[in-house]
Amino acid sequence: KAGVTQTPRYLIKTRGQQVTLSCSPISGHRSVSWYQQTPGQGLQFLFEYFSETQRNKGNFPGRFSGRQFSNSRSEMNVSTLELGDSALYLCASSPLTGTGGDGYTFGSGTRLTVV
Amino acid sequence: DQQVKQNSPSLSVQEGRISILNCDYTNSMFDYFLWYKKYPAEGPTFLISISSIKDKNEDGRFTVFLNKSAKHLSLHIVPSQPGDSAVYFCAASENYGGATNKLIFGTGTLLAVQP
């Protein structure tokens, strides 16, 4: 079965621009979580969507937002990009929520570079 | 504040020997712990997990030990193989069975297994 698909794989944007990243979960998975990975910081939780509702949000500024569609696909948006937003953005899908991470399957990520 | 800490950024081990990766946490509400492995340009893949009601879980060459009083867990890989060379992340959840899949990750340990 198809895995978690994130598009695009690589992106270069200029400071001040906005960007939208996409995540298609495994078929049947209803939970999509987003993480930011930067060197030395590990993976930082951004938000989780389950059945089109945001279930939890990490400690990120309001410039970071997301949504989930009825087919469980999710998008995250970052507005007014800053150099510090350069990171690998990972999406993870799971059949359910509240599973402690069991069943989490990660995509390969989108590498965002802000110049 | 870093609730999940991996204090060793890197570890080098000879093939066939034991690899021990360590992780400390500060939040006593964490009730589920996981280890992920990550190769470059790929998303993390799940390795093994442990509930806070257990002190050991074993899966083939991988064993995770949990010491709740010390708020410490470790991953043992025996015997280590060159293909185990990757970044290993420790992660924790405080909402197993609850309403979110949010995980708190450590900063990772780069394991290099020398042939």
How far CA A3 is from CA of A29, A100, B96, in Å, comes to 11, 20, 24
What is the distance between the alpha carbons of residues A103 and B44, in angstroms, rounded to a whole number?
12
Residue A100 scores a pLDDT above 80: no
* Chain Cα centroid distance, residue A51: 16
Provide the mean pLDDT of chain B. 93
Q: Is B82 helix (H, G, I), strand (E, B) or coil?
A: helix
pLDDT in tens, B90-106: 999 887 666 777 899 99
CB < 8 Å to B73, chain A: none
Q: Tens of pLDDT along A9-45?
A: 999 999 999 999 999 999 999 999 999 999 878 899 9
**Residue A43 in contact with partner chain B when CB distance is under 8 A:** yes
Return the half-sphere exposure (C-beta side, CA atoms, 13 A cut-off) of residue A99: 19
Burial B66-103 (b: 16+ CB within 10 A, else e): beeeebebbbbbeebeeebbbbbbbbbbbbbebebbbb
A60–B contact, CB cutoff 8 A: no
